[in-house]
Chains A and B, each alone.
Chain A
């Protein structure tokens, strides 16, 4: 009966407005959250297009163009630099030979370099080496394969090869250092679009440098850095001042990545702002519903109804509306997911249904948090309204 009495003052249009504001805020928040989850793989290190924002620098060609320890330290201390890794090269002569079954063999002089694993865009459990290992994994730039397939192979009458085949080609590495010569079996583990050099595991390079040319000092030829904002003028100034060279194109894709992240952050920010506004609107709406019934609530209270009994009528209303709003928001999320899917495919990101699970979890958490907040707010309002000495209760002298 108390519920019927309190509902008499509540208009359907008011509840509809309540539900709409609530759905709008929750919908925007969940859609942006879903977009955020879906685009995260874009910025992961495994994504070639917009992976970590890295820049490779080198010194101008000259006699002594290795980086010193002090220079590396200075780089690390710059506030626009997040992580610094160095390229080291083999201090020995390398000859690689390949023998293709039934097609003779070829051999070439080459070089080996290594860099910290965290800068490599290949994640493979075989990317490791120890002196007991049978073969050495090698990562080569992807454009080497392209050069072979589209440049060299057709002219030489050789077959084109794909990534799978390439890893099965046995390679022999002959390393000639200042004091020793050694042979190793190697294979191409993967190709990289990001790092333009022939890479071997760091442990292999350190070991062979030590064993083959113990007397030659290992030099840092190039430096790879993860930066916060590749367009930062401070960064470019710094390069200019120190005469460091960098790849413009690399910087460009990093800039795109930075720009996209910025846009996403702004969208998320606006989403949060709209959600905050909609929560404020919902709170105002609850206040309005309670205020409209001020007289009834006070009278019920001093007839002997507890605040809890009175508040529970409003709790039920807000839970129902919150539930409906969350459902509407989730429907919006699913619709948007289908709308966004083609665009995300263009951006080379894997759009899976997995992000929906995250969205569902967030929706449940939001429901619980908001329900608790609205409950607390309603209880507070009703307590305020029915407190002793409120004007309505004491108008009669």
Chain B
């Protein structure tokens, strides 16, 4: 999926000049992008625009030439199931469900992975032993790893990661990035990571300063 961004500006705050706002550029399939910015400059807003949660912007965003404002509610639901996956900055796990249930809830929409595959992913990020613990009892770093596994348990052409490793140690970051990069290249998907500064040793196609 090619994403064309044409001079978008949020209407609810005035952003400083950047390589994202008011610029024309595109995000290509199979490429990796880093959106680097200080806190509060609009990284999550940019992700929310791309994920269809917020449309308070001027300019246009197109997925394969189609303006995203023209998507209907069922079309967005299908996009979120099959084409775009996200790890929110706030994670959005269900605290009352276990780690595994949180992942299964997402996975059941497309039945993309088997339980064994999910557990294997969890093992790679060292959270398999927490599979049956309630999400609210996990540390934020553990929750971040569960949210990453959840995001991988669906088909996608665009993977949005909003400060995904902020509470994870370097060893686990390395595990997570290798898993993510494997998945992304397998699917020839576009990867967009938002970060406050760290680039996590990933070879990006482009770094966009926000």
The distance from the CB of B161 to the nearest CB of chain A, in whole angstroms, is 13
- Which of B22-30, B43-51, B119-127, B169-177 contacts its partner? B43-51
From B108, which residue of chain A is reached at the shortest CB distance? A1
Judging by beta carbons under 8 Å apart, are B44 and A304 in contact?
no
Judging by beta carbons under 8 Å apart, are B96 and A5 in contact?
yes
Interface residue B113 (Cβ < 8 Å from any Cβ of A): no
The distance from the CB of A283 to the nearest CB of chain B, in whole angstroms, is 23
The distance from the CB of B130 to the nearest CB of chain A, in whole angstroms, is 19
State the interface size on chain B (CB cutoff 8 A).
33
Chain A 1-17, CB within 8 Å of chain B: the 1/0 string? Answer: 11001001000000000
- Most A C-beta atoms less than 10 A away, residue of B74, B77, B89: B77
User: Which among A8, A305, A383, A396 is the interface contact of B96 at CB below 8 angstroms?
Assistant: A8
- Which of B52-60, B138-146, B183-191, B197-205 contacts its partner? B52-60
Residues 67 to 92 of chain B near chain A (Cβ within 8 Å) = 73-74, 77, 80-81, 88-90, 92
- Which of A108-116, A131-139, A274-282, A387-395 contacts its partner? A387-395
Chain A 328-352, CB within 8 Å of chain B: the 1/0 string? Answer: 0000000000000000000000000
Interface residue B63 (Cβ < 8 Å from any Cβ of A): no
Residues of A within 8 A of B65 (CB): none
From B106, which residue of chain A is reached at the shortest CB distance? A303
Chain B 11-49, CB within 8 Å of chain A: the 1/0 string? Answer: 001000000000000000000000000001011110010
Chain B interface, DSSP helix/strand/loop, else mixed: loop
Residues of B within 8 A of A397 (CB): 13, 40, 42-45
Judging by beta carbons under 8 Å apart, are B48 and A394 in contact?
yes
Judging by beta carbons under 8 Å apart, are A299 and B94 in contact?
yes
Residues of B within 8 A of A307 (CB): 73, 77
Interface residue A126 (Cβ < 8 Å from any Cβ of B): no
- Most B C-beta atoms less than 10 A away, residue of A2, A8, A388, A389: A388
Judging by beta carbons under 8 Å apart, are B77 and A304 in contact?
yes
Judging by beta carbons under 8 Å apart, are A5 and B55 in contact?
no
The distance from the CB of A118 to the nearest CB of chain B, in whole angstroms, is 60
Residues of A within 8 A of B74 (CB): 306
The distance from the CB of A386 to the nearest CB of chain B, in whole angstroms, is 8
Rounded to whole angstroms, the CA-CA distance of A305 and B106 in the bound complex is 9
Interface residue B109 (Cβ < 8 Å from any Cβ of A): yes
Residues 274 to 320 of chain A near chain B (Cβ within 8 Å) = 296, 299-300, 302-307
Judging by beta carbons under 8 Å apart, are A396 and B81 in contact?
no
Judging by beta carbons under 8 Å apart, are A2 and B13 in contact?
no
Residues of A within 8 A of B108 (CB): 1
From A306, which residue of chain B is reached at the shortest CB distance? B77
Size band of the interface chain A makes with B: 20 to 34
Judging by beta carbons under 8 Å apart, are A296 and B54 in contact?
no
Judging by beta carbons under 8 Å apart, are B92 and A388 in contact?
no
From A307, which residue of chain B is reached at the shortest CB distance? B73
Rounded to whole angstroms, the CA-CA distance of A385 and B173 in the bound complex is 35
Rounded to whole angstroms, the CA-CA distance of A395 and B106 in the bound complex is 22
Interface residue B131 (Cβ < 8 Å from any Cβ of A): no
- Most A C-beta atoms less than 10 A away, residue of B74, B104, B105: B105
Interface residue B157 (Cβ < 8 Å from any Cβ of A): no
Residues of B within 8 A of A383 (CB): 73
Judging by beta carbons under 8 Å apart, are A304 and B96 in contact?
no
The distance from the CB of B37 to the nearest CB of chain A, in whole angstroms, is 11
Judging by beta carbons under 8 Å apart, are B48 and A393 in contact?
yes
Residues of B within 8 A of A304 (CB): 77, 80-81, 106, 109, 154
Rounded to whole angstroms, the CA-CA distance of A2 and B73 in the bound complex is 19
Judging by beta carbons under 8 Å apart, are B96 and A394 in contact?
no
Residues 368 to 397 of chain A near chain B (Cβ within 8 Å) = 383, 388-389, 393-397
Listed in ascending order, the chain A residues whose CB lies under 8 Å from chain B are: 1-2, 5, 8, 296, 299-300, 302-307, 383, 388-389, 393-397
A-B contacts, 27 of them at CB < 8 A, read A1-B104, A1-B105, A1-B108, A5-B96, A296-B94, A299-B92, A300-B105, A302-B51, A302-B92, A303-B80, A304-B154, A306-B74, A306-B77, A388-B53, A389-B53, A389-B55, A389-B56, A393-B54, A394-B45, A394-B48, A394-B56, A396-B88, A396-B90, A396-B162, A397-B13, A397-B40, A397-B44
The 10 closest A-B pairs by CB, nearest first: A396-B44, A304-B80, A304-B81, A393-B53, A306-B77, A394-B54, A299-B92, A396-B89, A304-B109, A388-B55
